[in-house]
């Protein structure tokens, strides 16, 4: 398979471990192994005796059961554990799609969610988010008009990377009705689910639709990216069988110690999500005061959920050049919209890290230095 470079990961490869002020990260603040184990009495001793042999291909049954419990209609058999969220995106697209299939993806979106389909030779149509007076908007009538006889899959990402746009339960229901009518699979990347900023919990897509696939991960809302534990949830038995056979060619099975730690963390899911929501909310207070100070330079829309937002910057140079200069001259990392192939002058800002205030201060000082404010 020939596949285009993953622009966002190439960009992070250059800067993520060298830039001191990461103002664009999409994961929540992480924690140490010790802190995870401290959530569950007795788990530290058990962790030290974890066996380092191969594990079961679909994932540790106990972990799968805990994950299934996050949903309303899933059983252990409906969950397949994978390496992070990237492996299941790659595997699921390869299992579901053939050359010539039509795929509709939300846009802008995390690149692999359309790039793998593109590399397979699918006909990919982008269903664009629109910026309106009331913020980001997705026109479901438009989605309906894009459906063709060959449409095999609709790809959603809710909460969305990079905008934070999140479908309401009513919108999800309507998308499912459309998909059911045309017998189309729906893949919903829900890796930012759990840190809702409007206080409204939405259903998981896989609970709503027999041909729905939900993607979850420990990396984002839970802040435990280093575990490299993600999962797919679906009721489609045929697909589950094929996903297992595909995993034989990628990671085979997950890391036992990571599965153990993910299990401990998910037993305390509510506590962990409340901690991370609080970090995001506190940082949003600081961020919103900043954007209020400079209304002429920024057009800010509060994310509905998740730790990131896409912010318009009214500046007289390409946003990619501005972000390059910002990281070179001030060590502050922001992700420009060009990385997403999205037109307009936007950057992605991340609110999930506990040093947000310090990073933002460096950004503000740079703007003052350059007389941009």
Ligand X SMILES: Cc1ncc(COP(=O)(O)O)c(C=O)c1O
Task: Count residues binding ligand X (CB under 6 A).
Answer: 13
Q: 346 - beta bridge partners?
A: 312
The residue at minimum Cβ distance from ligand X is 84
- Is 84 an interacting residue with respect to ligand X (CB under 6 A)? yes
Sole binder of ligand X in the list 179, 205, 225, 309 (CB under 6 A)? 225
State how far the Cα of 36 lies from the Cα of 218, in Å rounded to an integer: 12
Q: 119 - beta bridge partners?
A: none
User: How are beta strands 123-128 and 102-107 bridged, if at all?
Assistant: parallel
Peptide bond into 108 cis (omega under 30): yes
State how far the Cα of 319 lies from the Cα of 326, in Å rounded to an integer: 10
Question: Which residue stretch of 140-148, 196-204, 217-225, 290-298 sits at the interface with ligand X (rule: CB under 6 A)?
Answer: 217-225
Specify the length of the chain in residues: 373
- Is 233 an interacting residue with respect to ligand X (CB under 6 A)? no
Sole binder of ligand X in the list 24, 60, 86, 338 (CB under 6 A)? 86
Q: CA-CA distances (angstroms) from residue 212 to 176, 183, 184, 188, 207? A: 8, 11, 9, 7, 8
Q: Which is nearer to ligand X, 108 or 203 (CB)?
A: 108
- Is 259 an interacting residue with respect to ligand X (CB under 6 A)? no
Residues 326-345 as x/- pattern, contact with ligand X by CB under 6 A: --------------------
CB of residue 110 vs ligand X: minimum separation in angstroms?
Answer: 4
Report helix, strand or coil for 7: helix
Sole binder of ligand X in the list 21, 71, 107, 110 (CB under 6 A)? 110
Residues 142-181 as x/- pattern, contact with ligand X by CB under 6 A: ---------------x---x--------------------
Sole binder of ligand X in the list 230, 306, 350, 352 (CB under 6 A)? 230
- Is 217 an interacting residue with respect to ligand X (CB under 6 A)? yes
Report DSSP letters for 128-172, one per residue.
E-EEETTEEE--HHHHHHH--TTEEEEEEESS-TTT-----HHHH
CB of residue 9 vs ligand X: minimum separation in angstroms?
Answer: 9
Q: Which is nearer to ligand X, 60 or 161 (CB)?
A: 161
- Is 219 an interacting residue with respect to ligand X (CB under 6 A)? yes
Contact (Cβ atoms closer than 8 angstroms) between residue 306 and residue 195: yes
User: How are beta strands 332-333 and 135-137 bridged, if at all?
Assistant: unpaired
CB of residue 251 vs ligand X: minimum separation in angstroms?
Answer: 12
- Is 189 an interacting residue with respect to ligand X (CB under 6 A)? yes
- Is 111 an interacting residue with respect to ligand X (CB under 6 A)? no
- Is 105 an interacting residue with respect to ligand X (CB under 6 A)? no
CB of residue 310 vs ligand X: minimum separation in angstroms?
Answer: 13
CB of residue 227 vs ligand X: minimum separation in angstroms?
Answer: 9
- Is 254 an interacting residue with respect to ligand X (CB under 6 A)? no
Q: Which is nearer to ligand X, 160 or 345 (CB)?
A: 160
CB of residue 191 vs ligand X: minimum separation in angstroms?
Answer: 5
CB of residue 316 vs ligand X: minimum separation in angstroms?
Answer: 30
Q: CA-CA distances (angstroms) from residue 233 to 47, 103, 278? A: 26, 20, 27
Q: 347 - beta bridge partners?
A: 311, 336
State how far the Cα of 55 lies from the Cα of 325, in Å rounded to an integer: 46
Query: What is the C-alpha end-to-end distance of the chain, expressed in Å?
Result: 47
- The closest alpha carbon to 218, from 34, 37, 63, 3, belongs to 63
> What are the E-state strand segments in the chain?
21-22, 79-83, 102-107, 123-128, 130-132, 135-137, 151-157, 185-189, 212-217, 229-234, 298-299, 308-313, 332-333, 335-336, 346-350
- Is 191 an interacting residue with respect to ligand X (CB under 6 A)? yes
Residues 14-53 as x/- pattern, contact with ligand X by CB under 6 A: ------------x---------------------------
- Is 115 an interacting residue with respect to ligand X (CB under 6 A)? no
Residues that bind ligand X in the complex, under the rule CB under 6 A: 26, 84-86, 110, 157, 161, 189, 191, 217, 219, 225, 230
């Amino acid at each position: 398979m020939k596949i285009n470079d993953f622009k966002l990961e190439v960009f992070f490869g250059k800067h993520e471990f060298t830039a001191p002020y990461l103002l664009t990260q999409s994961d929540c603040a992480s924690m140490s192994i010790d802190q995870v184990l401290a959530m569950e009495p007795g788990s530290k001793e058990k962790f030290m005796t974890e066996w380092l042999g191969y594990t079961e291909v679909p994932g540790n049954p106990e972990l799968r059961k805990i994950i299934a419990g996050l949903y309303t209609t899933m059983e252990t058999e409906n969950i397949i554990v994978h390496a992070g969220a990237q492996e299941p995106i790659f595997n699921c697209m390869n299992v579901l799609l053939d050359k010539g299939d039509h795929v509709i993806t939300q846009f802008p979106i995390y690149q692999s969610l359309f790039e793998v389909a593109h590399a397979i030779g699918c006909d990919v149509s982008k269903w664009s988010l629109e910026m309106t007076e009331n913020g980001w908007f997705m026109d479901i009538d438009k989605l309906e008009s894009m459906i063709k006889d060959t449409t095999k899959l609709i790809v959603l990402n809710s909460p969305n990377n990079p905008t934070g746009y999140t479908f309401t339960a009513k919108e999800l229901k309507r998308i499912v009705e459309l998909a059911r009518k045309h017998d189309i699979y729906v893949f919903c990347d829900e890796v930012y689910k759990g840190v809702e900023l409007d206080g409204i919990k939405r259903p998981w897509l896989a609970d709503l639709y027999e041909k729905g696939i939900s993607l979850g991960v420990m990396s984002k809302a839970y802040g435990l990216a280093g575990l490299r534990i993600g999962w797919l949830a679906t009721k489609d038995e045929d697909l589950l069988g094929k996903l297992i056979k595909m995993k034989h060619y990628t990671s085979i099975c997950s890391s036992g110690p990571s599965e153990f730690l993910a299990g401990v963390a998910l037993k305390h899911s509510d506590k962990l999500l409340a901690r991370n929501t609080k970090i995001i909310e506190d940082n949003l207070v600081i961020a919103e005061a900043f954007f209020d100070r400079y209304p002429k330079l920024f057009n800010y829309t509060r994310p509905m959920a998740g730790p990131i937002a896409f912010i318009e910057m009214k500046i007289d140079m390409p946003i990619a050049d501005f972000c390059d200069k910002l990281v070179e001259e001030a060590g502050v990392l922001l992700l420009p919209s060009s990385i997403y192939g999205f037109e307009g002058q936007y950057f992605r800002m991340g609110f999930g890290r506990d040093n947000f205030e310090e990073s933002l201060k460096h950004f503000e000082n740079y703007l003052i230095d350059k007389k941009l404010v």
